[in-house]
Chains A and B, each alone.
Chain A
């Protein structure tokens, strides 16, 4: 199959978040609704870019597109409600790139709003099926006492131990390095003790000794549960160049799926990111060795480690070494999750938008605005691979982004 050349056919021209994110009720005195988080972020990205909301021609969201368009009073001619978990937003960007390349639209909005903390305990997560039908996958697994993502992802870590001889200490380095990045992001939930009693720097021993959630996953191996809203706008190059903001080029994109239910996961130490990244690298004409930064969905330390392996950033079984040897850390060769990640910055249930916003900030040279990043956070990376993982290591969306000054 011939691959159409979508490379650089569109750019992300701005990114913004809701006015207040994190523990919204504690910060404002009010719960946030998901719609509210969406609308604030959309409004902010509109103001940031100078693109009026009325100029948005395509709306891409994980199930919210109709409600958002109606709420905004706009009539977009491209609707996408792809809702496949936390990687949905990487996939939305891919779809927006294709729609722009095809000439269907010029300006696309990708939006996320998720009151993960305000409405915690409600079951949340990547989109409902609706109706009273039960899928056979759920029918044959619901009896077995798993509760949420940690209870499932733990199985992958045990298999990784078995196949590669890795240990909890190895994975703990991911949590420690990611927490260090959070010290440069004042909006990170784990920025310090003022934000959370669990905040501030942690050690490998802290991670290993923390409360067990689902063995072998201890608390610090698991992502946060927070509120978040975020949005990015994608536009064709002629528009991107006329704006005051720095464009970040979508140089490669790909998506794929391994399974929906974990019982169908063929290899418990592999995800479809091998395929989605292969597509993205091919489109970009770049490879893993060309990546100078990575934004890797870190729902759990195991997710980050496996994904690094799937993206070709480290050999199979050795993903954790990127963090352990300092490559992923401040000043390292390949900074990873410079916002503080899902582990220490913010994770609302679907973390893909947070990855996108931080990738935009880094590559547009706006990572140190004092609010979302302080001195030391901005890197000089000109290429960044962004990989979202949805479900139970199920679906993946990969983007290869490049800076305008590359």
Chain B
């Protein structure tokens, strides 16, 4: 079945991310000067304001920082309620938003902040594969 949820239009400076996603890689922007990885992708390092940036392949591993269970949704997402949105602390640093896989929105008490998660990609359209994160073990 075709993907029926919003697919992001690709921006001006994020092509390496989307190209990587198509190959199953989580590409992350990293500053060559201060060494920090940041998210979302900037035109300038948000930590040291250097523009000397490059893309690295991330580990695709992280932990749940916080989450919520969505009971009110529209469009394609309405079919999935209750689903669990979350913010992920990347092993490389900084934070990414997602919808969690491998959890039950009817049992939020079973979802633990700090739990290990791993990235996976779902095809949105020909060009865009969207990263989602799956819980792999308890906190």
Contact = CB atoms under 8 A, between A and B. Distances in A.
Query: Are A and B subunits of one complex?
Result: yes
B124 interface: yes
Given A140-B39, A143-B130, A263-B87, A213 B8 contact: no
A252 B64 CA distance: 39
A150 B72 CA distance: 9
Interface in B83-106: 83, 85-87, 95-99, 105
B65 interface: yes
B6 A142 contact: yes
A54 B66 CA distance: 52
Contacts of B137: none
A141 B95 CA distance: 11
A144 B68 CA distance: 12
A137 interface: yes
Interface stretch (A152-160, A275-283, A360-368): A152-160
B72 A268 contact: no
Q: Select the residue from B6, B40, B95 with max chain A CB neighbours within 10 A.
A: B40
B69 A155 contact: no
A151 B70 contact: yes
Contacts of B65: 159, 268
A131 B3 CA distance: 26
A264 B124 CA distance: 24
Q: Select the residue from B83, B85, B124 with max chain A CB neighbours within 10 A.
A: B85
B77 interface: yes
A142 B14 CA distance: 15
A144 B41 contact: no
A158 B113 contact: yes
Contact of B66 (A142, A150, A156): A156
Interface in B1-45: 5-11, 13-14, 39-42
Interface string B49-92: 00000000000000001111111111001001011011100000
A213 B14 contact: no
B66 A147 contact: no
Contact of B85 (A142, A144, A157, A162): A144
Which size class do B's interface residues fall under?
35 or more
A221 to B, nearest CB: 12
Contact of B108 (A137, A213, A215): A215
Contact of A139 (B5, B11, B66, B113): B11
Nearest to B9: A134
Contacts of A27: none
B79 to A, nearest CB: 11
Q: Select the residue from B7, B68, B108 with max chain A CB neighbours within 10 A.
A: B68
B80 A145 contact: yes
A352 interface: no
Contacts of B86: 155
A5 interface: no
B124 A143 contact: yes
A257 to B, nearest CB: 13
A319 B96 CA distance: 28
B8 A214 contact: no
Q: Select the residue from A147, A150, A213, A215 with max chain B CB neighbours within 10 A.
A: A215
Nearest to A160: B66
Contacts of B70: 145-147, 151, 214-215
Given A140-B41, A146-B85, A155-B85, A214 B72 contact: yes
B85 A145 contact: yes
A214 B66 contact: no
B75 to A, nearest CB: 9
B98 to A, nearest CB: 6
A137 B74 CA distance: 21
Contacts of A136: 11, 13-14, 40-42
Nearest to B83: A145
A145 B77 contact: yes
Contacts of B72: 147, 150-151, 213-214
B14 A139 contact: yes
A191 to B, nearest CB: 26
A216 B108 CA distance: 9
A243 interface: no
A371 interface: no
Contacts of B71: 212-215
Given A146-B85, A155-B87, A263-B39, A139 B68 contact: no
Question: 3 shortest A-B CB distances, which residue pairs?
Answer: A154-B68, A215-B69, A159-B66
6 contacts: A139-B9, A141-B97, A144-B97, A144-B98, A144-B99, A156-B66
Given A144-B97, A147-B77, A264-B40, 10 more contacts: A136-B13, A138-B8, A143-B8, A147-B74, A155-B67, A213-B71, A214-B72, A215-B105, A216-B108, A268-B65
Interface of B: 5-11, 13-14, 39-42, 65-74, 77, 80, 82-83, 85-87, 95-99, 105, 108, 113, 124, 130
Interface of A: 134-147, 150-152, 154-159, 162, 212-217, 261-264, 268
